[in-house]
Structures are given as structure tokens and as C-alpha cells.
Amino acid sequence: MSEAKATGSCLCGAVHYTLEAAPVGTFACHCKDCQRQSGTAFSVIMGVPESGVKVEGEPATYLGRGDSGNAVQRKFCGKCGSPLFSIVEATPGVLWIKTGTIDDTHSLNPQAHIWVKSKQCWVDTGELPTFDTDPVL
Amino acid sequence: MCHCIACQQRTGAPFSANSRFAREKLEIQGDSRTWERKADTGNGVIHHFCPDCGTTVFWELTGFPDVVAVANGLFADPTYPAPTVCVWEESKHSWTDDIANQPMERWAKMPE
């Protein structure tokens, strides 16, 4: 996903977006809130400068505190529930895309696993770097 | 474990991890909002998600009325049992090949 200009949407299509900037990083996040919101073992998030994302449709927002204690705005589609973006207090100016909603994920490649202290026991992180929590905290 | 595109969009993640329970063994508390889609089989999938935070908590499968599917991530328990069946591998992200190495029944699509 090194090329700018990717598109994505929620399951029902009510919210869709275009990425017009290169990502700043892509991580597999194993924090408990990502497990709960995604409903699966971990989320894969790609950070993009907020100014480089054009969103059409109105996502709903759930404001929570992550495992770090920092505020996290979790944006989701109010019609189908798909998680779309997170805005994290610790990384101002960055919109974290929930990458399962990107249309073409062929070149998606996380660079590290974060919050592995709450990782599901059956998940093998392989050769990628791992962090117990989040390296930017 | 399911790699279908709809599960990728629902979870925002590369695959879903789910458990099916007998309907009578499940007690649901709290309100949910529903959204229905058609599976490739033609059967309906009725998603129930939390209206406040968007989390899809469980879903009903019109082709299998006696069971309810629950998203494993909701337990947020690192010791929750590993998936035993993997479906829709044809749309799997290649970098996830080695994520789940345990023996599993594996299917390119959804078995009939």
C-alpha cells in the first residue's frame, strides 16, 4: 500500500473514502479494545495524514479510552456497524484506517505487531517486530 | 476463522474469528441494531451490532436457524480456544499465511 490513492468502504457502502496520501505506518494491533470492536483476533490499522483522506457519508463515533488510557475516537458506520477509522490522542493529525475496509488489500503489509501482551494465544506473529504495548507511547 | 470480504469489512481486519453456539445456550442482554446482507449461498446474515460503539456482537444465519454466531474478539481473552475451521481461504491476505498454524479444516470457499 505504498502508492497513494486507495479507496474503501463499510460493508453497506453508506460511508466510503479515498486515500490521497501515502501511509505513515501499518500495524497489527492486538489491544483488547481492537479485539472487541473488530470481533476478531486483532485489527490491522494503517495511519494516513488526516488531510489526505476524503470521507463521504457520516460515520458515527464512539469515544473510549484505550488500554494506554489515551482517548480514542472510534468511527463506525451507524447503518451496518463496520469499524472504519480511529483518531488517537497520542498521534495527532493521523487517521488510522481499519484496513479490512480498503477495497484492494493486495499490497497491504503490516510492519509490526503492537499490544502483543493481550495477543490471542494461537496467533503466530512470525518474523515481524513485536511490541508489548505501543512503541509511540 | 473466515477470510471472506464481508468479514474483512465487518471487522476492519484481515479475517474474522467466530464461534457458533446453539441458540438456546445463548442469552443476549442489551439492545442491538440489525443490518442484513445476503451470503453467497443466498441465505441471509442478520448482523446485530451495538448502536453506541458499532461492535457487531452476534449474527443470525437464516440457513441455520438453530445456531447463533458470536464474534470471538468480544471475549478479549487471550486464552480463548483457537479456531478449528477456516473458510474462504481464496480471499486470504497472503501475509496471514502463518498467523494461524494450528491444524484446521481448510476450505477455499464456504463448504456446501
Going from N- to C-terminal start, the domains of chain B cover 1-17+83-112, 20-79
- Tell me the per-residue pLDDT of B25-42, one tens digit each, with 9 for 90 and over: 999 999 999 999 999 889
Q: Which residues of B touch A120 (CB under 8 A)?
A: 17, 72, 78, 80, 82
Residue ranges of the alpha helices (H) in chain B? 5-11
For residue A97, give the 3-state DSSP assignment.
Answer: strand
Contact at CB, A77 and B54, closer than 8 angstroms = yes
Q: How far is the CA of A47 from the CAs of A40, A80, A95, B73, in angstroms? A: 20, 23, 6, 22
Contact, A77 vs A60, CB < 8 A? yes
A94: domain CATH number is 2.170.150.70
In this prediction, what percent of chain B has a pLDDT beyond 90? 89
pLDDT of residue A68: 81
* Cβ pair B73:A37 closer than 8 A: yes
Containing structural domain, residue A58? 6-118
Q: Indicate yes or no: CB of A101 within 8 angstroms of CB of B8.
A: yes
The tens-digit pLDDT sequence of chain A (137 residues) is 445 589 999 999 999 999 999 999 999 999 999 999 999 999 999 999 999 999 999 999 999 998 788 899 999 999 999 999 999 998 999 999 999 999 999 889 999 999 999 999 999 999 999 999 998 76
Provide the domain count of chain A: 1
